[in-house]
Structures are given as C-alpha cells and as structure tokens.
Amino acid sequence: MKTTSFTPFSRRNFIQTAVAAGVATFGSRAVPALADTPTTFTLADLPYAFDALEPHIDARTMEIHHGRHHNAYVNNMNSAAAGREELQGKSLCEIIADLTAVPEDIRTAVRNNGGGCVNHDLFWATMAPEGSTGEMSDALGSAIEDAFGNLESMQEQFNKAAATRFGSGWAWLIVNGDGKLQITSTPNQDNPKMKGFVPDDEYGAAILGIDVWEHAYYLHYQNRRADYIGAWWNVVNWDEVSALHAAAVAG
Ligand code: MN
C-alpha cells in the first residue's frame, strides 16, 4: 500500500530556519539577521536500503551515488544560496523552473547543483525493489499508447535517448506542454522544467528519468551503459511514475 507520493513541483523539500526576533543583537548594535536565516536544502534518506535494488544496481554504487554525489549537489546548492535573498522561501523545484530569476553570479551553480538535487530526488523516488514496483495506472498506460503505440516502443525510444546522450546527462519521459508524453534527454544536470534552458519543444514535467552519468553505473557495469539501462527497467516504480503522471497532467 502506497501512502506517500513524490510531487516535485508542490513539495517544499527545504527547511527554512527563521530567527524569531528577526534581528541579532551584538552588544548595543542591532543588525539585520539575513545571514542567520538561510534557506537550507537537505539530503533526504533513500526510501529503501542501499542494497534494495540489487542485482540491477549494486549497494556500493547506491551508497556512493547518494551519500557523495547527491550530497555534494546539496552542499554546493547551499553554498550558492547562502545569504541570497532572491532564493528565500522557494523550493528547489521552483528555483530551477525560473533560473532567470536567479542572480547571474550564482545561476550556473544553481543550474548544476539545484538541477542535480531535483533530478536525483526524482531518480530515487521512481525506483523500487524488484517485486515492489507497483503497476502502471490506466491513465498512464493509455497515454503511452497514444504517444508511442505501446510500452515497448516507448522503452525503445527512451533507451535510445539514454544510450546516445553523449557524456553525462539524463534521459526523460516527460509530460510536454500539450499534456502528451514525450522522450527527451538533457546534458549535465539540466531538467526539462528549466524553461529557456532546454529547447522549447523539449520542455515539460519529468515523470521518469535515468541518470546516465558514469557515476550511476561504472562500478558494476563499467562502460556497458546499455546493460545498465536495460537492467534499470526492472526497478522502475510504476506506482510513483503513475502518480507523477497524474500530477503533471492535472497541472
Ligand atoms: Mn547521479
């Protein structure tokens, strides 16, 4: 039974620490407490054990990927956001969806690290141990048939996008501006919601994505990216992807 759902564009996955008084007093001098009221982003625990996705994704890869790579994106995002009023009170999803509102001097850092946070949150949430991957909703099944003919064709297009993404990046299943499903891919840590930073005809809400950075698979699969992609389908959490589809279609 599923009780929670990952909703990246509504959940405020940050903790904002407000200093109640609003000012800090140093001796007789009262100063604004902006530096004491940071927007702080946190690394959430994985929703399963490191070894839960074996044999398809090994425990050591998961541990390093979450604890070091994802954690570094969180720390770097916090460094970029420290003391920046423009980011106060916004979720990561809101921030990366409106990068032009981010001050220019930290925009690239936010694009890379904020994107890294959002992308990995989605990645972890849309995987589950084999045997607990749930079922595709009727609405998602119909949408796949409408857009691709059948599931196999969708997977074929998705695998191709993942395999041919040169260097580091992601392949995505998105709900596009017309409310239809579409396969896209992005370089680095870009996300399909980064309006103005992804092509207009590849803009949309990601409901499934695969990380094809080497850090996602190299320990176990070495250079065999296609084997990793093929194995990954065994751990796709269809309950979660269906929930994300419903949320994206509802707008
Ligand atoms: Mn990664």
DSSP state letter for 214 = G
Domain that holds residue 244: 138-250
Could you tell me if 59 and 99 lie in one domain? yes
Q: DSSP readout, 78-142?
A: HHHHTT-GGGTT--HHHHHHTGGGS-HHHHHHHHHHHHHHHHHHHHHHTB--TT------HHHHH
**Is 114 in the same domain as 57?**
yes
From the CA of 24, how far away is ligand 1's center (Å)?
Answer: 39
Does one domain contain both 161 and 121?
no
Q: Are residues 246 and 171 in the same domain?
A: yes
Residue 5 forms part of a structural domain: no
> 152 and 121, same structural domain?
no
Closest CA to 13 of 52, 49, 34, 44: 44
Query: Which residues make up the environment of ion ligand 1, defined by Cβ < 5 Å?
Result: 211, 213
Contact 219, 213 (CB under 8 A): no
180 and 227 housed in the same domain: yes
Structural domain tally of the chain? 2
Mean pLDDT by 10 residues, the chain (251 residues): 42 33 35 51 96 98 98 97 92 96 97 98 98 97 98 98 97 97 98 97 98 97 97 98 97 83
In a domain, 2, yes or no: no
99 & 171 share domain? no
| pLDDT score recorded for residue 10 | 36
Distance 138 CA to ligand 1 centre (A): 30
Q: How far is the CA of 22 from the centre of ligand 1 (A)?
A: 38
Domain boundary among 83, 102, 125: 125
Are 118 and 203 part of one and the same domain? no
For residue 191, the CA-to-ligand 1 centroid distance in Å is: 13
pLDDT number for residue 251: 83
Read off the CATH number of the domain in which 245 is found: 3.55.40.20
DSSP 45: P
Residue 109 located in a structural domain: yes
